[in-house]
Structure 1
Amino acid sequence: MKLLKIALSLIALSALAASAQAETAYVVLGEGRTAEARVITHADHCPDITIDGRTRQMQARALPATEPLRPTQSKPELSKPSVFNVLTCEAPLPAGTRSASIGRQRLPVRKRRLDRLVVIGDTGCRLKAADDAWQACDDPKAYPFAQVARAVAAWRPDAIIHVGDYNYRENPCPADQTGCKGSPWGYGWDTWNADFFTPGAPMLKAAPLILARGNHENCSRAGQGWWRFLDPRPLELHRDCNDPVYDATGDYSQPYAVDFGGGAQIAVMDLSHAGGAPIASNDPRFADYTDTYDRVDAMTKQARFTFAVDHYPFLAVSADEKTHAIVAGNKALASSFGARNPRLMPEGVDVLLSGHVHLWEQVSFAKDFPSQFVAGFSGTQEDIVPLPAKVPAGLEPVPGAAIAHFSSWIDGFGFMTLERIRSDRWRAEVHDGQGRVVNVCHIVGRTSTCDKAVVKRLDR
């Protein structure tokens, strides 16, 4: 009988340990120096968190639920409800927190100064019927986000900036596509877990997150999961993307600035619903985005150096997939931010960080404009049209934006790092999926230059 009791106790402890391991824990950074611990769990209650030796229970952010139907982007007839069979919990981490843990798992607490930063973006596995795009999610070479996440963790960053687009598995994998056979799809927890939380686990343990929202996370797509899992602000009724009537509310948030310490910061903008067409002055987005400009302008007065991050590039060069024409800029952002300032960004914004274009890119201008970096190359199926070594003569994202320096990498996956030299000087490195440096860039104020114009993949 005694041996039976011991055996049962061991089984119970094993089950408890397995349950604890099944929890997904991470830290998101919010306005100023605020930070919040998050846990996603299959348990029926939130776990305890220990912060600097004091233990208390985390609070529920979102309860398990099957949410109303949101049609997938490319095949509405294949749509299904979003099943969130998990509990999301949260707990604020006070400024100056030295240690935090949930069970045996230590959390990556925020440092006073953030000097070593990783930039990633567009990390999900692309399954989209409208484009006949069936990325081989089961092939680590075709979908290498897990390897990228391991390399990111090995670099030991102070924080990780994600420029948006986490959830890409929008349609069921066809029977003749063996590389993605059996993949989850849609916008529920199973897809979020497969596309972001499981492959991204190493980096979630390594550093806190600064998260921008991509167009794949707007309300008509994976916005429900965005609000449940990633947005640093409170989850509120009508901002949860569950009811299409309130999509205008759920699709936009005011910007906030994360303080890096030492006079530097990053302004995080939610422009995920911008699109690419000009925005009319009577469109609700016009008022939202001009308000964003005003708020970011005010934020820049509080720091000596400002990065700004959103998903859509303001000033990048890209290739039209159908015509292969080389184009630049974004008409939606030019029409709305341009109404405030023909240079699009306040003078105090030094560097723009974006994604959306599935490659890495750097653009710097002769005068008046911030540098633009694009880091949409961390897992999602790459763009098929390479950019030229030199941009066409006269190509400008907006009138007056004369391109002085340009560099790109399309033939490989990876991540970008930013390392502070001093408040207005940063070293940027482009890493491939194994962490090898393939290009080095130098940021001085609003100007940036890179050692190489076009980078080829190392293993080809």
Structure 2
Amino acid sequence: MTTELPGGCPSVTFVDSQGTRTSNAMIPVSTPQLPLFPTTVCRLPVPVDARQAMIDSGSTQALHVRPAYNVPLPRWGVPTRPRPASIAVIGDTGCETTANAALNQNCLKDWHFHGLSVNAATTSSPDLVVHVGDYVYREEPQLASDKSLGCNVMSERGGWGCLVKDFFEPAEALLAKAPFLFARGNHEACQPPVVGRGVEWWRYLATQIFGNDECFSISSNHPAEAEPVVIDAGTLHFILFDSSAIPDADDFVLNQAVATQYIKWFNQVNALANRHPMQEYFLITHKPLWMVKAASSTAVTWTGPTLAKAVEQTTAKALAPNIRLVLSGHEHLYQMLDFNSTRPPQLTVGSSGTKLETAPDDTKVEGKVVDGEPVTQSISHDIHGYAVLRADPGNPWRLTFHNSAGRAQSPSCTLSTGTTKEFSCP
């Protein structure tokens, strides 16, 4: 949590399954650094048996807790619900403002993330929210149509004010509904001398949040802090794979030198998945491994050859067999791509807020070869929205795409449970 007031961290009261209450003081991680970061950042691990968590409003100067003092906790980990039953997937959520004002989004009229957040929270009622990366798009915040104190001058290019405007405020309904799993996108790079841009990721959202100025000491290539990380959600496991450092110039062409650097990380991904070979894993990487950007009657343009080559050159020559799905963003549209093979389907959700790209013609995608395998099914949407994965205990995952108003778009798809991994979308 954060508070815009200096001083100590608040306490949190936990209530366990037996009704026992315990209170623990949060641990300070960083202190205010004006003008970009007027915040004290605090953290506290949540006990596994906690069923309720409440921030103690009177214990410190934390007077601006939003949206409420009750912290949403996991609703799984019991025999009747061994894993999340409903997962909302969002990505690329911010409002785009660049140096070319004529191409900017109108953040008051054409940016749908706030409404999307409210509708996803109320109509989809997720147990968990996965954000696949890219939170702040206000690279020229002084050009935004919804200027606000703290995010309105070019020199900021990030910082607390822009993170609040681009993410915390519009995502408030979802943040109050369910725990979040945050992935790092290519917009979350710590790049001095652009003081604000990217620092907010390491300061507020990273799996390992850093203290004051620590991100400036991170390697610009691939920091050790960004090694693959596994997040356990009961019997479902997520592996966060940091692909943010791959140059955008290599999105559509193979860069073998870069691919070679990533072989080590994908071997680690497979090792993590082999911890529980009979349980399901979802791989989260902001840049897709296999995703079709454009299609003609004769060929497709697909993004991911550098990452895909790194997977091909791992010890296993593929992803571990219990990695059932790849979740990504980066490209500003929605797409589900599968191959009816041992390769997991690629789900791309980059359509939750920022300016959209034109989706390819799915009829021209299907049957085309991507990374050595023909696409058996492609479902793409170039409308703002989010994905929902639902599965009752013992049942397979069902995937639907919802528009920003919360309405499900056909078709609804079911993930197979056999050796081949594909979605059935009647």
Q: How far did 1:250 drift?
A: 4.4
Give the Cα separation in 1 of the matches to 2:365 and 2:87: 32
Q: How far did 1:346 drift?
A: 2.6
Give the Cα separation in 2 of the matches to 1:396 and 1:309: 23
Structure 1 unaligned residues grouped into runs of 5+: 1-37, 67-81, 452-460
Give the Cα separation in 1 of the matches to 2:219 and 2:290: 31
Q: Is the 8 A contact 1:241 1:250 kept in 2?
A: no
Give the Cα separation in 1 of the matches to 2:243 and 2:101: 24
Q: Is the 8 A contact 1:304 1:423 kept in 2?
A: no
Tell me the residue number matched to 1:297. Answer: 270
Tell me the residue number matched to 2:13. Answer: 50
Q: Is the 8 A contact 2:263 2:310 kept in 1?
A: yes
1:207 aligns with 2:178: yes
Indicate the larger mover: 266-275 or 390-399.
390-399
Indicate the larger mover: 95-104 or 271-280.
271-280
Tell me the residue number matched to 1:8. Answer: none
Q: How far did 1:260 drift?
A: 2.6
Q: How does 1:87-236 map to 2 (within 5 A)?
A: 87-103=40-56, 105-111=69-75, 112=77, 113-129=83-99, 133-139=103-109, 142-154=110-122, 155-174=124-143, 179-180=145-146, 184=152, 186-220=157-191, 222-235=197-210
Cα deviation, 1:170-196, whole Å, max 9, x if unaligned, reads 01444xx7x355663511111111000
Identify the match of residue 424 of structure 2 among 440, 449, 452.
Answer: 449
**Equivalent position amino acid for 2:370 in 1:** P
Q: Is the 8 A contact 1:421 1:427 kept in 2?
A: no
Q: How does 1:9-408 map to 2 (within 5 A)?
A: 38-52=1-15, 53-66=21-34, 83-103=36-56, 105-111=69-75, 112=77, 113-129=83-99, 133-139=103-109, 142-154=110-122, 155-174=124-143, 179-180=145-146, 184=152, 186-220=157-191, 222-235=197-210, 240-243=214-217, 246-248=219-221, 250=223, 253-261=226-234, 263-276=235-248, 277=250, 278-281=254-257, 286-287=260-261, 289-301=262-274, 302=276, 303-319=278-294, 326-340=300-314, 344-383=318-357, 385-392=358-365, 395-399=368-372, 401-408=373-380
Helix, strand or coil at the partner of 1:356? coil
TM-score (norm 1): 0.76
Q: Is the 8 A contact 1:264 1:423 kept in 2?
A: no
Give the Cα separation in 2 of the matches to 1:86 and 1:108: 22
Cα deviation, 1:193-244, whole Å, max 9, x if unaligned, reads 1000011111111100111110111223733111111112252688x4324x
Q: 1:57 to 1:316 in 2, by over 3 A?
A: same
Cα deviation, 1:113-134, whole Å, max 9, x if unaligned, reads 3121110000011112269531
Q: How far did 1:387 drift?
A: 1.1
Q: 1:334 to 1:152 in 2, by over 3 A?
A: same
Give the Cα separation in 2 of the matches to 1:153 and 1:393: 33
Helix, strand or coil at the partner of 2:44? strand
Q: How far did 1:329 drift?
A: 3.3
Helix, strand or coil at the partner of 1:98? strand
Structure 2 unaligned residues grouped into runs of 5+: 16-20, 58-68, 78-82
Give the Cα separation in 2 of the matches to 1:408 and 1:423: 29
Q: 1:286 to 1:132 in 2, by over 3 A?
A: farther
Cα deviation, 1:82-118, whole Å, max 9, x if unaligned, reads 7111111111101121111113610001232312111
Give the Cα separation in 1 of the matches to 2:413 and 2:255: 34
Q: How far did 1:152 drift?
A: 1.8
Give the Cα separation in 2 of the matches to 1:395 and 1:299: 32
TM-score (norm 2): 0.82
Q: 1:253 to 1:137 in 2, by over 3 A?
A: same
Give the Cα separation in 1 of the matches to 2:407 and 2:291: 25
Q: 1:437 to 1:343 in 2, by over 3 A?
A: farther
Q: Is the 8 A contact 2:120 2:174 kept in 1?
A: yes
Structure 1 vs Structure 2: percent identity of aligned residues? 26
**Equivalent position amino acid for 1:163 in 2:** V
Give the Cα separation in 1 of the matches to 2:52 and 2:397: 28
Give the Cα separation in 1 of the matches to 2:117 and 2:325: 24
Give the Cα separation in 1 of the matches to 2:187 and 2:120: 23
Q: Is the 8 A contact 2:221 2:245 kept in 1?
A: no
Q: 1:158 to 1:168 in 2, by over 3 A?
A: same
Helix, strand or coil at the partner of 1:363? strand
**Equivalent position amino acid for 2:11 in 1:** D
Q: Is the 8 A contact 1:215 1:273 kept in 2?
A: yes
Give the Cα separation in 1 of the matches to 2:255 and 2:394: 35
Give the Cα separation in 2 of the matches to 1:55 and 1:62: 22
**Equivalent position amino acid for 1:134 in 2:** N
**Equivalent position amino acid for 1:304 in 2:** Q
Give the Cα separation in 1 of the matches to 2:23 and 2:182: 27
